[in-house]
């Protein structure tokens, strides 16, 4: 039987700019310790299942969809959609929900936002749990889309390249981004469905065999468009901005656990290692026999469960 999804005790929309309205939903104990769970991406969305690891009698878990993502409105809008916008949206949400301080759990791109938010608003953060650390650096971006992951998954990458015009393959991200900003719906469906498959193929240590599951085309177009918007624009950050000494020092008093799969292809171990070396007070948990995925890699699921109570 299909497991029932958790039901929020409260949800709603928050107008964060003239153009953007964020969807948020809350679960668990309204009087409990507050945890903000930040979804990955860019371009993904929050899901009720993201609260499954938590003791909902103890925690009040807050989820939200970033600008243009999930149920936030308007879907897929790229205007006024930058990293600094999202960081400030998190603060607007905290104030809107009358939360003094909260724990933050940030997986993947969520770790980027969690670190940036904690650097800007350290006084509001009790503890950080980061999984699959991503600094949104040029090196990480190149690894993911140009010269790293494709060395380990050449068959999957070739599937993507085969649908890209040969004269566009060297700068294929820029090509796809131009398509994302255009109005050719048929081309978007073809390209972004395959772009999504490429990303999905490298998430887990033991990738599932391709299945003929029904694909939500509109969701794929939105997700890929936002991912390309951020990737091509260097995530709207200076290179390795998070690791600059004046920024990293702002995190030295915030308790932190860093969890990373040894065989994470999306966010390789080196970033988690750099963060741990820069912040020796942090706890680094290297999960063997795990990739990037937080719900399909069994050992990663166990590790998340171990640290989710933030008892460290």
Specify the CATH number for the domain of residue 265: 3.40.50.1820
| Alpha-carbon separation of residue 118 from 5, 87, 128, 248, 279 (angstroms) | 30, 9, 9, 10, 14
Mean pLDDT of the chain: 93
Residue ending a domain, among 236, 259, 287, is 236
Distance CA 248, CA 143 (A): 23
Q: Are residues 204 and 119 in the same domain?
A: no
Band (227; pLDDT cuts 50, 70, 90): very high
Residue 3 resides in a domain? no
Q: Are residues 42 and 68 in the same domain?
A: yes
Q: Are residues 166 and 122 in the same domain?
A: no
Active site residues: 108, 264, 292
Is the pLDDT score of 210 beyond 70? no
- Res 1: pLDDT: 43
* Mean pLDDT of the region 133-153: 95
- Res 292: pLDDT: 86
- Res 3: pLDDT: 64
Is the pLDDT score of 305 beyond 90? no
Residue ending a domain, among 198, 218, 236, is 236
Residue 1 resides in a domain? no
Q: Are residues 126 and 243 in the same domain?
A: yes
Owning domain of residue 146: 139-236
Query: Can you tell me whether residue 21 is helix, strand or coil?
Result: strand
* Residue pLDDT, tens place only, 52-94: 989 999 999 999 999 999 999 999 999 999 999 999 999 999 9
Provide the whole-model pTM. 0.95
- Res 128: pLDDT: 97
Of 289 and 268, the one with more pLDDT? 268
Residue 64 resides in a domain? yes
Q: Are residues 146 and 206 in the same domain?
A: yes
* Number of domains within the chain: 2
* Mean pLDDT of the region 280-290: 94
């Amino acid at each position: 039987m299909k497991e029932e999804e958790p039901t929020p005790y409260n949800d709603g929309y928050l107008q964060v700019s003239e153009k953007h309205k964020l969807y948020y939903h809350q679960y668990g104990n309204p009087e409990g310790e507050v945890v903000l769970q930040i979804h990955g991406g860019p371009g993904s969305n929050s899901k009720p299942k993201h609260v499954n690891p938590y003791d909902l009698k103890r925690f009040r878990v807050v989820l939200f969809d970033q600008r243009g993502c999930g149920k936030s409105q308007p879907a897929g809008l790229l205007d006024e959609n930058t990293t600094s916008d999202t960081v400030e949206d998190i603060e607007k949400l905290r104030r809107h929900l009358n939360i003094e301080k909260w724990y933050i759990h940030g997986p993947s791109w969520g770790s980027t936002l969690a670190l940036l938010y904690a650097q800007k608003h350290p006084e509001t953060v009790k503890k950080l749990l980061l999984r699959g650390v991503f600094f949104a650096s040029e090196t990480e971006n190149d690894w993911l889309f140009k010269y790293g992951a494709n060395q380990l998954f050449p068959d999957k990458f070739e599937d993507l390249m085969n649908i890209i015009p040969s004269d566009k393959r060297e700068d294929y991200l820029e090509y796809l981004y131009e398509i994302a900003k255009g109005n050719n719906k048929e081309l978007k469906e073809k390209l972004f469905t395959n772009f999504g498959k490429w990303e999905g193929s490298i998430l887990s240590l033991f990738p599932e065999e391709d299945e003929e599951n029904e694909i939500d085309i509109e969701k794929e177009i939105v997700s890929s468009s936002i991912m390309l918007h951020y990737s091509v624009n260097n995530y709207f950050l200076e290179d390795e901005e998070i690791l600059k000494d004046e920024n990293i020092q702002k995190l030295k008093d915030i308790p932190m656990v860093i969890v990373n799969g040894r065989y994470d292809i999306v966010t390789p171990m080196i970033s988690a290692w750099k963060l741990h070396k820069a912040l020796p007070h942090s706890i680094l948990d290297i999960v063997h026999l795990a990739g990037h995925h937080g719900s399909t890699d069994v050992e990663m699921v166990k590790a998340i469960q171990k640290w989710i109570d933030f008892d460290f």
